């Protein structure tokens, strides 16, 4: 009977008993995917500082040139001031729609696109053949710049912790003050030697360098989550923010502080070029080195707010600007310069406090809240600049000071009202405890 033969072993087989195959390593022992490195606060601050330099260098590039533009185009100061006012009005109008785009496409992407378009327009503006064309190009530039304030504070709020945000917003505003200073000094001296067109070209080159530095430094967003474009949701968020009393007070404070500040710096060149000062365009531009005071005051916002509280810090800012306005009435150059130190330091400090408080006062729709603050802020700039020029033409510097004091008195009233409400809330909470 046939038998089944056992299979022959391979000639190469180990004579020892075969061992079972090694099971695969359990998945728990596999290395976990690497986490992204934490975002560098230093790089964020440097990048946003550079962006702030580019923003304000472009935004107020014609401010120190207003006497030159009025002479070149044979117009009144109020007409020349529209090269500033039209820019900031366009910014105020565009900042809210662009904040919605930042919710969809990203803060970093929108800031990059905005500064790119703004710098491209800056390279064309020196060739404007007449005042109307210059105002139109500056209007388009203002709309392009709007993407930066629409996104910057929201970017900082998302990428940094709450304690770091106020200080980083202060440094961003410090970049604004440095840009405003460098732009004005540069245009003043270049205009004195080569005219206002060369001055605007020089500012364009400065802004281009700052924009390149921003792009090289800014880290990719880690915490941004895109949201679909929903106009109804946007309108609902805006309505919610506009129904919040705290936000409305902060918006009003930003508008009023900027109105007083803009009035002073729009017409200071006209005052200093006339007697008894008689300064040249270059010297008037050098006066704007005082913006460094704003750099310092806004960069220390975080520690001072922790020590004094938000309302205490605002009282300090209002008092400082008020003292500067009263001191500016003297017809002595050193005294006027000291007054500008107080006005500049107090303004930038107050602005940093109010702006940073907006981002901390909301838990959703931060971009829209920041955008609404920027709308109020730049409307204040437009109103202050235009009204300041008109008032100066009719009532002189005393009229400008009276306008600024009225704005500050209203700001103090709003802050005092908020202080009273806070006390009432604390008393009620204590009674219920």
pLDDT digits (tens, 9 = 90+) for 185-222: 888 889 888 999 999 999 999 999 999 999 898 877 77
Say what the pLDDT of residue 428 is: 65
Say what the pLDDT of residue 171 is: 73
d(CA 277, CA 336): 10
Say what the pLDDT of residue 14 is: 45
The closest of 139, 180, 193 to 287, measured between CA atoms, is 180
The closest of 356, 380, 85, 173 to 260, measured between CA atoms, is 380
Instruction: Look at residue 335 and tell me whether its pLDDT is greater than 60.
Output: yes
Q: Are 301 and 170 in contact (CB under 8 A)?
A: yes
The answer to which of 175-184, 323-332, 381-390 has the lowest mean pLDDT is: 175-184
Q: How far is CA 218 from CA 102, 107, 160, 211, 214, in A?
A: 16, 11, 13, 11, 6
Choose between 67 and 228: higher pLDDT: 67
Choose between 283 and 326: higher pLDDT: 326
Give the number of other CB atoms < 10 A from CB of residue 281.
23
Range 138-166 average pLDDT: 80
Say what the pLDDT of residue 159 is: 73
Q: Which two tokens stand for residue 215?
A: 């792009």
d(CA 306, CA 261): 25
CA angle, corner 402, sides to 398 and 403, nearest 5? 120
Q: Are 385 and 266 in contact (CB under 8 A)?
A: yes
Peptide bond into 395 cis (omega under 30): no
Residues 6+ apart with CB under 8 A from 181: 288, 289, 290, 291, 292, 294, 295
Choose between 89 and 363: higher pLDDT: 89
Give the number of other CB atoms < 10 A from CB of residue 202.
20
* Mean pLDDT computed over every residue of the chain: 82
Say what the pLDDT of residue 53 is: 87
Give the number of other CB atoms < 10 A from CB of residue 247.
20
Structure confidence at residue 162 as a pLDDT band (50, 70, 90): low
The closest of 338, 411, 400 to 376, measured between CA atoms, is 411
**pLDDT tens per residue across span 382-391:** 889 889 988 9
Find the Cα–Cα–Cα–Cα dihedral 43, 45, 47, 53, rounded to 10°: -150
Give the predicted TM-score (pTM) of the model: 0.71
Range 9-27 average pLDDT: 48
Residues 6+ apart with CB under 8 A from 386: 78, 81, 82, 85
Say what the pLDDT of residue 281 is: 77
The answer to which of 2-16, 103-117, 174-188, 309-323 has the lowest mean pLDDT is: 2-16
Choose between 422 and 406: higher pLDDT: 406
């Amino acid at each position: 009977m046939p038998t089944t033969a056992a299979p022959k072993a391979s000639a190469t087989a180990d004579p020892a008993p075969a061992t079972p195959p090694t099971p695969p390593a359990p998945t728990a022992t596999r290395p976990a995917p690497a986490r992204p490195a934490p975002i560098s606060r230093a790089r964020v601050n440097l990048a946003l500082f550079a962006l702030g330099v580019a923003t304000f260098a472009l935004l107020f590039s014609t401010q120190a040139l207003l006497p030159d533009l009025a002479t070149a185009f044979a117009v009144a100061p109020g007409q020349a001031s529209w090269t500033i006012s039209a820019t900031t009005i366009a910014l105020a109008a565009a900042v809210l729609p662009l904040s919605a785009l930042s919710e969809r496409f990203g803060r970093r992407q929108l800031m990059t696109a905005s500064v790119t378009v703004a710098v491209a327009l800056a390279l064309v503006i020196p060739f404007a053949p007449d005042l109307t064309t210059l105002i139109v190009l500056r209007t388009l530039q203002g709309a392009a710049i709007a993407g930066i304030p629409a996104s910057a504070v929201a970017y900082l709020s998302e990428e940094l912790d709450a304690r770091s945000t106020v200080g980083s917003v202060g440094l961003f505003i410090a970049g604004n003050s440095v840009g405003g200073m460098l732009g004005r000094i540069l245009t003043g001296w270049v205009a004195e030697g080569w005219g206002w067109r060369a001055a605007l070209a020089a500012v364009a080159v400065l802004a281009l360098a700052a924009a390149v530095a921003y792009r090289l430094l800014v880290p990719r967003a880690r915490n941004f989550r895109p949201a679909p474009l929903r106009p109804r949701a946007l309108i609902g968020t805006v309505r919610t923010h506009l129904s919040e009393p705290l936000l409305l007070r902060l918006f009003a404070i930003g508008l009023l502080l900027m109105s007083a500040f803009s009035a002073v710096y729009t017409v200071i060149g006209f005052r200093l070029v006339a007697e008894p000062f008689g300064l040249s365009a270059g010297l008037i531009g050098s006066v704007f080195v005082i913006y460094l005071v704003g750099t310092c005051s806004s960069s220390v916002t975080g520690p001072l707010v922790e020590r004094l509280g938000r309302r205490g810090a605002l009282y300090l800012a209002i008092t400082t600007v008020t003292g500067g306005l009263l001191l500016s009435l003297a017809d002595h150059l050193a005294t006027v310069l000291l007054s500008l130190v107080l006005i500049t330091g107090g303004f930038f400090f107050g602005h940093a406090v109010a702006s940073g408080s907006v981002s901390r006062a909301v838990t959703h729709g931060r971009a829209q809240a920041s955008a609404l603050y920027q709308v109020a802020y730049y409307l204040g700039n437009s109103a202050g600049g235009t009204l300041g020029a008109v008032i100066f033409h009719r009532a002189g510097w005393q009229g400008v000071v009276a306008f600024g004091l009225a704005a500050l008195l209203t700001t103090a009233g709003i802050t005092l009202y908020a202080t009273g409400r806070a006390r009432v809330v604390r008393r009620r909470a204590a009674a219920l405890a």
